[in-house]
Amino acid sequence: MDRLRREHGRELIGAALVIAALVAIAVGYANIRDEADVAIQLPYVLTGGIGAVVLAALGVGVLRSQDDKAILDRLADVEATNLDVRERVDYLTHLLETGLLPDADIPGTPRAPGDDETSNANAVANAPAPARAR
């Protein structure tokens, strides 16, 4: 029961408020159904009807806030996944820059004498092809 209250507390409160609104309408109607005099009906309409509208509005508001909470929880999960993907992309970018690029193309590394663009291109072109998976 505690887990149900903890995970769905707002939904339970919202549903209880909406049910209370329906009960208020039913009680108000039960009190005025046999009365023909409008002056006698008016207090029941005011208390039952307006009370029901207020309870229903509160219930729907609480139910809506549960939807907002679920959306915010999902957004937090998406942001955490985004950070994880960003870290993996940064790691892979680092691996590509340090492993596949010639040393001369990495910023901050000195260029060796005799190192030119054609020898780097030939080294990359003559690299063995990766084995195909079967």
Dist CA 14 CA 68 (whole Å): 14
Q: Find where tokens 């046999």 sit.
A: 34
50 contacts 71 by C-beta, under 8 angstroms = no
pTM: 0.51
Quote the pLDDT of residue 110: 57
**Mean of the pLDDT values across residues 114-123?**
52
pLDDT-above-70 percentage for the chain: 72
Q: Where are the domains of the chain?
A: 2-105
Quote the pLDDT of residue 86: 94
Burial 38-59 (b: 16+ CB within 10 A, else e): eeeeeebeeebeebbeebbebb
What one-letter code names the amino acid at 53? V
**Mean of the pLDDT values across residues 67-82?**
89
Q: Find where tokens 């950070």 sit.
A: 83
pLDDT tens digits along 12-23: 899 999 999 999
